[in-house]
Chain A
């Protein structure tokens, strides 16, 4: 069965420091990968998605970047964190269109709580 893991689960970082959140998927190949952010008490906002190694699409302009160095690894980064980067970050995966169309649910990792101070 497929599993998704992301880490660290929580972190507190000072303004201006770098960030690296990692996500890995097991039990599948060629997945679509996503990074979402959830502000307190609100819905999820898609930040980045990737359909393959090195292929990153950004949904909103921001202080963050994403990379996909391996098929099942997705990394969210920042060179200098801002206070507004605080939030709950969720990595997710899905099958590619055409692999198993019915549903093609997006499955989420456990999430990472980031507090920028």
Chain B
């Protein structure tokens, strides 16, 4: 079964607007972590934001925020005030347990920011 589901293959957003990227996850572990990475066309994977399963507040990092809804098992990424440089592929990932840091990745969402 898929551990991470990203249902939006691609999205368009107008510059300066906000965009929400969906991510749902499946785990039976009580301790887990959720990550978002950005992959521009160059291929590098850039860490954006992290949310721990025990964190009570939603994580924020600059223009990135994570809308964590534990009961619904969702961890949506919100990018505010989109910029042209935000155009990239975005991946949601999950680490389960505390013994290692292997990540399970979703299929990704391509974001294209329009001027």
Contact = CB atoms under 8 A, between A and B. Distances in A.
Interface residues of B, number: 26
Contact of A43 (B44, B47, B99, B107): B107
B105 interface: yes
B68 interface: no
Nearest to B89: A41
A110 to B, nearest CB: 5
Contacts of A97: 98-101
Interface residues of A, number: 29
B29 to A, nearest CB: 14
A51 B100 CA distance: 9
B25 interface: no
B52 to A, nearest CB: 7
Given A103-B33, A104-B33, A32 B44 contact: no
B103 interface: yes
B45 A108 contact: yes
Interface in A74-117: 88, 90, 92, 94-95, 97, 101-111, 113
Contacts of B104: 46
Q: Which residue of B35, B93, B103, B108 has the most chain A CB atoms within 10 A of its CB atom?
A: B103
A44 B105 contact: yes
B70 interface: no
A97 B99 CA distance: 6
A90 B103 contact: no
A41 B95 CA distance: 22
A102 B107 CA distance: 25
Interface of A: 32, 34, 41-46, 49, 51, 59, 88, 90, 92, 94-95, 97, 101-111, 113
